Structure 1
């Protein structure tokens, strides 16, 4: 897992200046190695939202940089997307912006006998994400979170 996290950091360092230079926010990067064929998923955001043609433009620019720098030695698929309503959360700042929302969190390793937590995001404390599941609060270290996402409320 440490190798994947280091690769994500390397990819983020390459991709972020391109995305920012095009006027977008780099919301997050997912790298999913799978044998000889991997997936690199980039989430971009903008205060006015994201259109499909903007994703295509960013994909072309990022692809050109990745072709030159060649940070992924195997074959891979590059996907560029908006984070959407069920947006993934990558940083403490992103979690802090969604306090009060329902979240679905999966940990890399079991914590108190479980890996999945679905509940209300109630706060951030010293690098931990605080989630209330039923009536119990759990402090989940950000570095232990494998995947976190907002659960959209359509009411």
Structure 2
């Protein structure tokens, strides 16, 4: 069975567990890592909510593990990883950008331009990033790659 089919099966199995715990399912990825099969499930707090606690994440992980063991959607041996996106995450969806309003991002555009700035606005179609010198309003489909950045503040 193709990896995307398995990812869809796993998503269907675990989405209710994640939402029932008051979180959102961000991504399900099946990949080979150092020769081992990994099922990576990324969860996060709903937009506007407090960050997930480590206890809440552990509870979600245990519930997902039990469900995966019972349903057995992956025929080969695999390692299950349940985590949050982390401090520096790739920004792929509109809600990723919305969560980043006020935060620092680095952006590589399809036309070759690159810049770092703060997200001042985001909606379903695009975002506005202020670099200090200028403001860039960009459609998501114009972006090659974007990541949130850790903001260490000014050293002045």
Normalised to the residue count of structure 2, the TM-score between the two structures is 0.63
Query: Could you say which structure has the higher strand fraction?
Result: 1
C-alpha RMSD of the superposition: 3.8
Q: In the alignment, which residue of structure 1 is the partner of 2:140?
A: 141
CA distance in 1, matches of 2:70, 2:118: 43
Match runs of 1:119-130 below 5 Å:
119-124=117-122, 127-130=125-128
Q: In the alignment, which residue of structure 1 is the partner of 2:17?
A: 18
Name which of 94, 97, 120 aligns with 1:95.
97
CA distance in 2, matches of 1:143, 1:17: 33
Q: In the alignment, which residue of structure 2 is the partner of 1:44?
A: 44
Q: In the alignment, which residue of structure 2 is the partner of 1:55?
A: 57
Cα distance, 1:29 vs structure 2: 1.8
Normalised to the residue count of structure 1, the TM-score between the two structures is 0.63
Name which of 144, 147, 150 aligns with 2:148.
150
CA distance in 1, matches of 2:127, 2:142: 10
Cα distance, 1:55 vs structure 2: 2.2
Gaps of 5+ in 2: none
Cα distance, 1:52 vs structure 2: 2.8
Name which of 20, 31, 34 aligns with 1:33.
31
Larger radius of gyration: 2
Contact 2:36 2:79 in 1 (8 A): no
Name which of 78, 81, 104 aligns with 1:79.
81
Q: Deviations over 1:92-140 (max 9, x none)?
A: 123124234211357xxx71147x7643334446633454566473635
